[in-house]
Amino acid sequence: MVYRCRIELNEIAPKIWREFQFHPDVTFHQLHKIIQSVMGWENYHLYEFHVNEKVIGLPDPTFADLENREILNARRETVQKHVQEENAVFTYVYDFGDDWRHTVTLINIDASISDPAPLCLDGARSCPLEDVGGVWGHQHMMEVLLTPNHPERDHFMGWIREGYDPEHFSCEEVNQELERQKDKLIPKSLVKRPAGKKPVKLTKSVLNKHLKQLNNDQLINLVKACYGASKDMEKFLAVRLLGDEAVESLFQEYRKKIEKEFFPERGFGKLRLQEAKHAISEFERLTGNARYALELKLVYVENGVDFTLCYGDIDERFYYSMVSMYADIIDQVNEDETAELFDEFEERLEAVVSKTEGIGWGFHDNLANLHAQIRWI
């Protein structure tokens, strides 16, 4: 059995739409991934479904106190549980900043199809670019691009991705992407796994046992093989063998990764906060350097403050992320009995607070309250 659906992006003319099919036992999180592929989005942002007055998304305990509604977990709720009749209509919301709203209609339930793999059947026009500014931003960009002498045209031409064509759509291209992800987009119970033995896990005790059996040449060859196995391993070995010089080099690399999410060299920042936070945790994992990790956290908050000063109010989750990161910084500063971290970063910590005065969502007040908790003040 498959569900055949039509999805349309709201408030856009001419219409941007797709028809596609999928197995009804997929979770709503899997349906989100299917929609991302069939529409052509890049999965940079959060999402939620509105189905029969229920909200289905990815509940985040970090924001539990901010939510005044129940959010069902999209990783656990199946589509068939909530959508069961032909002509049922529900809403898919993607990117709470740009607020892209899609209307999804179940147009047919076909019990004759046994293949559970998702498939795109038809559609028209390319979806808007990520982070363009919602419906208004997309329409404004299209007007500018169609006006040869418009003063903003060069700006947008430098920002849009290479090869972007608003009229382009290809079922074949979409289905190639769906095929690539197929095992992740069908119910887990239907994924065919090759029969085999239970995976072998290398524990520390087993590792120690085998390392003790190796001679010097074998150990050297093992380390060389590890070096070539992955970029992360190369960085890890560089830190262990080259010391502070390698740590400083990695700090600059990961600083650029964070800054790129807010202020890239060209175009607008994608504001993928999770990517920026992942860069911080990855640096800390590779180097174990708490001082540089703290500075990367501060770079994250500083860029967030500069971003909202540049582009205006963002949203509650954005500010909560900044406040949460600032709280981590303050905790680390307070745990330093030598007060060296406070001495080094005092001016930058205070500047973050002073620059946010007048910003909404209680952003300034929350930062000021955290700053006042520094034990050395």
pLDDT digits (tens, 9 = 90+) for 12-45: 999 999 999 999 999 999 999 999 999 999 887 8
Q: pLDDT at residue 346 above 70?
A: yes
- Of 155-164, 180-189, 239-248, 336-345, the range with the lowest mean pLDDT is 155-164
Residue 266 has pLDDT above 90, yes or no: no
Return the number of other C-beta atoms located less than 10 Å from residue 366's C-beta: 19
* Continuous segment of H or E residues that includes residue 353: helix 340-355
Tens-digit pLDDT profile for residues 175-223: 999 999 998 999 988 887 666 666 678 899 999 999 999 999 999 999 9
Q: How far apart are CA 237 and CA 221, in angstroms?
A: 14
Q: For 235-253, b where at least 16 C-beta lie within 10 A, e where not — what string? A: bbbbbeeeeeebbeebbee
pLDDT, greater one: 367 or 61 = 367
Alpha carbon distance 182, 307 (integer Å): 38
Question: Nearest to residue 375, comparing CAs of 345, 339, 351, 325?
Answer: 339
Per-residue pLDDT of 39-61, as tens digits, reads 999 887 889 999 999 999 987 65
Residue 224 predicted with pLDDT over 60: yes
* pLDDT at residue 68 greater than cutoff 80: no
> What is the C-alpha to C-alpha distance for residues 368 and 323, in angstroms, rounded to an integer?
10
| pLDDT tens track for 272-306 | 888 899 999 999 999 999 999 999 999 999 999 99
Domain boundaries 2-187, corresponding CATH code: 3.10.290.30
* pLDDT for 265 beyond 70: yes
Average pLDDT over residues 356-368: 88
Q: What is the residue-averaged pLDDT of the chain?
A: 91
d(CA 228, CA 234): 7
